[in-house]
Amino acid sequence: MDLYDVIRTRRSVRKYRPDAIPHEVLIRVLDAARIAPSGSNRQPTRLIVVKDAATRQKLVPMCHDQAFIATAPVVICAVGRDIKFNRGDWMGDYAMIVDVVIAVDHLTLAARAEGLGTCWIGSFNNADLREFFKLPKDANVVALTPLGYPEGDSFMEPEGRIPLEEFVMWDGWRG
């Protein structure tokens, strides 16, 4: 699949078929996240892959009752380790979050290329998830995503996007 088709048709999927993801497909998707760049190659990202149905169901209340996440055969929890590296200026401690987000974006695009759906979950209780997964003190959840084959035809170009002429400003801010 062409990269631009992947980007153009990656959507948030909230309905999944129960079909298992072949191991080799799952590994390719996870490896796409692993090889994502990070500032100064710090690699603060760690992924928790949840395949057990009962465990996926326990995540629902910690994700503000978004029940659809448990219907996918896999849920991935993206965790960032605070490695005490200040990228500088105002970015400061946000650098770890940026690095994890880059890895998750690689994962979601690789998933789309494999015919899998994802949905970026940013609404969750970090303290509860930290306790549930027994994360070390220097780690926090940055995002979660269900991962599975979509029910129906979920891959299409997005609607309602602002035009490129409004999105891009050449040689300075205008507006």
CATH number, domain containing residue 106:
3.40.109.10
* pLDDT in the model for residue 24: 98
pLDDT digits (tens, 9 = 90+) for 85-115: 666 677 777 889 999 999 999 999 999 999 9
Q: How many domains does the chain have?
A: 1
Angstrom distances, CA of residue 155 to CA of 33, 110, 121, 159, 169: 21, 14, 18, 12, 29
Task: Give a yes or no: residue 174 inside a domain.
Answer: no
Quick check: 136 and 168 in contact, CB under 8 A? no
pTM for the full model? 0.92
Residue 92 belongs to domain spanning: 3-167
Task: Give a yes or no: residue 172 inside a domain.
Answer: no
Task: Give a yes or no: residue 113 inside a domain.
Answer: yes
pLDDT digits (tens, 9 = 90+) for 2-13: 999 999 999 999
Task: Give a yes or no: residue 144 inside a domain.
Answer: yes
- Within 8 A by CB and 6+ apart from 23, the residues are none
Query: For 27-44, what is the mean pLDDT?
Result: 95
pLDDT digits (tens, 9 = 90+) for 139-149: 999 999 999 99
Task: Give a yes or no: residue 42 inside a domain.
Answer: yes
Task: Give a yes or no: residue 173 inside a domain.
Answer: no
Lowest mean pLDDT among 56-65, 102-111, 152-161, 162-171: 152-161
Q: What is the mean pLDDT of the chain?
A: 93
Task: Give a yes or no: residue 175 inside a domain.
Answer: no
Task: Give a yes or no: residue 55 inside a domain.
Answer: yes
Percent of the chain with pLDDT over 70: 97
More confident residue, 88 or 137: 137
